[in-house]
């Protein structure tokens, strides 16, 4: 039980066929010219994000978006890089009021709250029903945490489950009914009211795979993340051998076939295999190329269209900013309003330095970068990108110090920060002479960065000889 992650105890209160028109209007008071996007997942298993509509706030901070969707889905409303959750339904209308961010801008993205807004949804009842259910669910968990985990008497859990089943039994959209069912299933599992085998048989094997329901997919992933620890159908060594096997026949699937229930459902077993592969992609014992190769094979030969899409999305997501993949391109302005692009440095190693105007520690690290550059001469170039529109203070500082490398402004190209997954400042990315990623998110200059740079330069140079 202690390995079952408590995330399923607290479902975040999410504000979080044929295509039908959806209209979204909103206001972000005092925030003109901001990028507004609707983002969803290309699939709910890989969670590869995609923008499905975008616009900008007008001078009054107002915005209007129109899009077509075919089915209800979990989505984000994003203002610049901050996101908040809601549920997007076909033929619905939404009115958002984005509340001014009360979190200090100099804080790391890790410390920030999600985009704060209120929403009035003219939909089929999905948004309000899930909000109400999540409040009741979270309140029950908060007040009964010891009973859920420790008590042998599961009557309290069962009473709550029965009450929720009755409340949401009729007159609910299918998305809500399924959301509630799999939320309650996760509670039964976490409280040990139902065993692994019971959950597997009652909710997954030879049952419809709800590819588009966020609660189904989240429970699916968490359940199978822990399932094999308890059932012991293979050893860790066998799994790694299966993942690293170059043979065309699927050794990982052979391991899963040892489970008599998984053997009965090819579709579910294939999804489980993809989750195992993706989960081990950053495992040092696993061969990344073999994992990608196995996902490519699933994308090519799977009998299930949805599974082929999931495999393709995992291939994309797992390789984002990985060694050898192309670095996101950019063209930005320096303090003289001259355009400088990543392509200008073709044939050279480039150390990208992402900083922010109000990041005081960035100034200290820029001095260390200057020292590092002087020690290494022309072995690599440094390019510093200042996030945001306010750059005068930092630009003046660099000019005063006489740093001899380009200082660029991200300006309104804020998605570049998302492309490079910049979540804190400073952040550093090392790029090879051919424009591919050498290493994303290097350690700080005073934490052996130089050793990393030398290692990756040597590795690349030896490879191209």
- 289, 372: one domain: no
289 and 400 part of one domain? no
Spatial CA neighbour of 372 closest among 361, 381, 363, 384: 381
Does the residue 305 lie in any domain?
Answer: yes
**Which residues make beta-bridge pairs with 393?**
none
Q: Which of 318, 346, 367 is the last residue of a domain?
A: 318
The dihedral sign for the CA sequence 360, 368, 333, 54: negative
The residue whose two tokens read 């007040």 is 143
Q: Which two tokens stand for residue 276?
A: 């195992």
Where a domain ends, among 123, 149, 167?
123
Do 296 and 353 belong together in one domain? no
DSSP at 25: E
The structural domain count of the chain equals 3
Residue with tokens 């259910």: 133
Q: Give domain status of residue 2, yes or no.
A: no
Instruction: Give the span between the Cα atoms of 334 and 336, in whole angstroms.
Output: 5
Any domain includes 285: yes
- At which of 123, 153, 186 does a domain end? 123
Q: What is the pTM of this model?
A: 0.88
What is residue 102's predicted lDDT score, i.e. its pLDDT? 46
Residues 342 and 460 in one domain: yes
Question: pLDDT in tens for each of the 465 residues of the chain?
Answer: 444 444 444 444 343 457 889 999 999 999 999 999 999 999 999 999 999 999 999 999 999 999 999 999 999 999 999 999 999 999 999 999 999 864 444 444 444 568 999 999 999 999 999 999 999 999 999 999 988 888 888 899 999 999 999 999 989 999 999 999 999 999 999 999 999 999 999 999 999 999 999 999 999 999 999 999 888 999 999 999 999 998 766 899 999 999 999 999 999 999 999 999 999 999 999 999 999 999 999 999 999 999 999 999 999 999 999 999 999 999 998 888 899 999 999 999 999 999 988 888 998 999 999 999 999 999 999 999 998 766 677 777 777 788 889 999 888 898 999 999 998 999 999 999 999 999 999 999 999 999 999 999 999 999 887
- For residue 452, being part of any structural domain is answered with yes
The pLDDT of residue 188 is 95
Helix locations, 111-195, DSSP H: 126-143, 145-150, 155-167, 174-190
Q: How far apart are CA 465 and CA 458, in angstroms?
A: 11
Same domain, 313 and 335: no
* 228 in any annotated domain: no
Residues 423, 391, single domain; the answer is: yes
Residue 298 sits in the same domain as residue 341: no
Q: Are residue 417 and residue 358 in the same domain, yes or no?
A: yes
Whether 139 maps to a domain, the answer reads no
Task: Name the strand (E) or helix (H) holding 169.
Answer: none
Q: Would you list the DSSP string of 77-91?
A: EEETTEEEEEEE-TT
Single out the residue of 4, 375, 407 nearest to residue 222, CA to CA. 4
pLDDT of residue 248: 63
Q: Are residues 299 and 340 in the same domain?
A: no
Is residue 102, in this structure, part of any structural domain at all?
A: yes
Give the Cα separation of 92 and 123 in Å (integer): 4
Phi, psi angle pair for 235, to nearest 5°: -95, 165
Which residues are CB-contacts of 298 (< 8 A; sequence separation ≥ 6)? 270, 273, 274, 307, 308, 311
Angle at CA 150, nearest 5°, toward 146 and 152? 120
As a whole number of angstroms, the distance between CA 308 and CA 237 comes to 28
CATH assignment at residue 441: 3.40.30.10
Residue range(s) defining the domain that contains residue 64: 13-123
- Three-state DSSP state, 150: helix
Distance, in Å, from the CA atom of 464 to the CA atom of 160, rounded to the nearest integer, reads 64
CA distance 208 to 267: 10
User: Is 207 within a domain?
Assistant: no
345 and 417 together in one domain: yes
CA angle 424/426/431 to nearest 5° reads 105
CA distance 293 to 313: 14
Same domain, 419 and 443: yes
Q: Residue 46 is part of a domain; what is its CATH number?
A: 2.60.40
First vs last Cα of the chain: how many Å apart? 53
Per DSSP, 343 falls in state: G
> Are residues 287 and 364 both part of a single domain?
no
């Amino acid at each position: 039980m202690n390995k079952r992650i408590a995330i399923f105890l607290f479902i975040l209160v999410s504000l979080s066929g044929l295509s039908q028109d959806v209209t979204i209007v909103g206001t972000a008071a005092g925030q003109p010219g901001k990028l507004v996007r609707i983002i969803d997942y290309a699939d709910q298993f890989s969670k590869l994000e995609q923008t499905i509509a975008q616009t900008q706030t007008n001078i009054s901070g107002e915005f209007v978006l129109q899009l077509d969707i075919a089915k209800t889905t979990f989505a984000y409303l994003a203002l610049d890089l901050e996101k908040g959750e809601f549920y997007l339904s076909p033929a619905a209308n939404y009115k958002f009021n984005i509340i001014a961010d009360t979190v200090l801008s100099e804080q790391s993205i890790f410390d920030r709250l999600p985009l704060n807004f209120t929403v009035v949804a003219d939909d089929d009842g999905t948004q309000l029903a899930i909000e109400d259910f999540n409040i009741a669910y979270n309140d029950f968990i908060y007040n009964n945490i010891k009973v859920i985990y420790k008590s042998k008497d599961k009557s309290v859990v069962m009473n709550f489950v029965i009450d929720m089943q009755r409340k949401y039994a009729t007159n609910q959209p299918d998305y809500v009914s399924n959301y509630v069912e799999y939320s309650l299933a996760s509670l039964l599992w976490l409280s040990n009211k139902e065993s692994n085998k019971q959950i597997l048989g009652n909710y997954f094997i030879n049952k419809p795979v709800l590819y588009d329901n966020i609660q189904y997919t989240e429970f699916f992933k968490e359940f199978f993340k822990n399932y094999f620890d308890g059932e012991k159908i293979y050893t860790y060594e066998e799994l790694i051998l299966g993942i690293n096997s170059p043979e065309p026949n699927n050794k990982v699937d052979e391991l899963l076939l040892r489970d008599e229930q998984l053997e009965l459902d090819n579709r579910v077993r294939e999804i489980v295999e993809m989750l195992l592969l993706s989960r081990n992609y950053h495992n040092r014992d696993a061969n990344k190329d073999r994992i990608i190769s196995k996902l490519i094979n699933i994308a090519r030969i799977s009998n299930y269209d949805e599974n082929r899409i999931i495999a393709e999305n995992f291939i994309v997501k797992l390789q984002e900013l990985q060694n050898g993949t192309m670095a996101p391109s950019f063209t930005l302005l320096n303090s003289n309003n001259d355009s400088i692009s990543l392509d200008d440095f073709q044939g050279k190693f480039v150390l990208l330095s992402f900083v922010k105007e109000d990041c005081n520690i960035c100034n200290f690290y820029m001095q260390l970068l200057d020292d590092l550059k002087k020690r290494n001469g022309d072995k690599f170039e440094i390019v510093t990108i200042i996030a945001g529109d306010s750059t005068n203070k930092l630009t003046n500082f660099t000019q005063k110090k006489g740093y001899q490398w380009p200082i660029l402004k991200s300006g309104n190209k804020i998605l570049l920060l998302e492309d490079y997954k910049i979540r804190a400042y400073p952040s550093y990315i090392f790029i090879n002479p051919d424009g591919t990623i050498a290493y994303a998110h290097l350690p700080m200059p005073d934490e052996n960065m130089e050793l990393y740079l030398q290692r990756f330069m040597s590795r690349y140079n030896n490879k191209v000889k």
